[in-house]
Chains A and B, each alone.
Chain A
Amino acid sequence: MRVRSLTWAALIGAVLIVGPRPVSAQPAAPAAVLQQQIEQLRKELGDRIAALEAQLATLKAAPPEAALAPPPEPPPMPSGGGAASSTVFNPDMAVVGNFLGFGGRNVANPSPALELAESEASFQAVVDPYARGDFFLSFGEQGVSVEEGFLTFSELPGRFQVKVGKMRAAFGKVNGLHTHALSWADRPLVTGNLVGGEDGINDAGVSVARLIPAGTLFLEATGQVFRGDSGDTLFRTSTRGDLSYVGHLRAYHDLTESTNLDLGASVSHGHNPAGVIAGEDVGRFTTTLFGVDATVHWRPLTRAIYHQFVGRTEVVWSHRNQFDGEQRSLGYYVSGDYQFARRWFAGARYDRSARADLATRIDTGGSALLTYRPSEFSQVRGQYRHIHFGDAPAANEVLVQLQFSIGAHGAHVF
Chain B
Amino acid sequence: MASRTLRVTLALALFAAPAGRASAQTLNVVATTEDLGAITRQVGGDKVAVTALAKGYQDPHFVDPKPSFILAVSHADLLIVVGRELEIGWLPPLLTSGRNNKVQPGSKGYLDASLTVRILDIPAGQITRAMGDVHPFGNPHYWLEPGNGRKIARAIKDKLSELSPASAGFFAQRYADFDSRLAAAEKRWDEAMAPYKGTKIVTYHRSWPNFMERFGLNVMGYVEPKPGIPPSPSHTLELIQEMKAQGVKVIAVEPYFDLKTPQSIATQVGGQVVVLAPSVGGAKEAADYIALFDYDVNLLAAALKHASGK
A interface with B by C-beta (< 8 Å): 65-66, 68-70, 72-73, 75-79, 81, 132, 152, 154-161, 208, 210-213, 216, 218, 220-221, 223, 247, 249-250, 252-254, 257, 260, 262, 297, 299, 301-306, 342-343, 375-377, 406, 409-412, 414
Contacts and interface: CB of A to CB of B under 8 A. Distances in A.
Contacts of B216: none
B256 A211 contact: no
Given A75-B138, A409-B89, A211 B230 contact: no
Interface string B82-98: 01110011111100111
B contact patch SS: loop
Given A218-B68, A376-B228, A78 B55 contact: no
Contacts of A216: 68, 71
B154 to A, nearest CB: 16
B18 to A, nearest CB: 6
Given A132-B96, A223-B11, A247-B11, A75 B101 contact: no
A377 B68 CA distance: 26
Contact of A342 (B68, B92, B230): B230
Interface string B57-84: 1110011111110110010000000011
Contacts of B66: 252, 254, 260, 414
Interface string B115-159: 101111010110001001100111000000000000000000000
Given A157-B19, A257-B55, A414 B65 contact: yes
B120 A72 contact: yes
B88 A409 contact: yes
B118 A73 contact: yes
Given A154-B96, A221-B14, A342-B230, A412 B71 contact: no
Interface residues of B, number: 61
Contacts of B194: none
A302 B115 contact: no
5 contacts: A76-B137, A78-B112, A81-B137, A154-B101, A158-B19
Given A154-B97, A211-B99, A213-B21, 13 more contacts: A72-B118, A154-B104, A161-B96, A161-B97, A210-B14, A211-B71, A254-B68, A302-B255, A303-B258, A304-B58, A375-B133, A412-B89, A414-B93
A211 B68 contact: no
A302 B112 contact: no
Contacts of A254: 66, 68
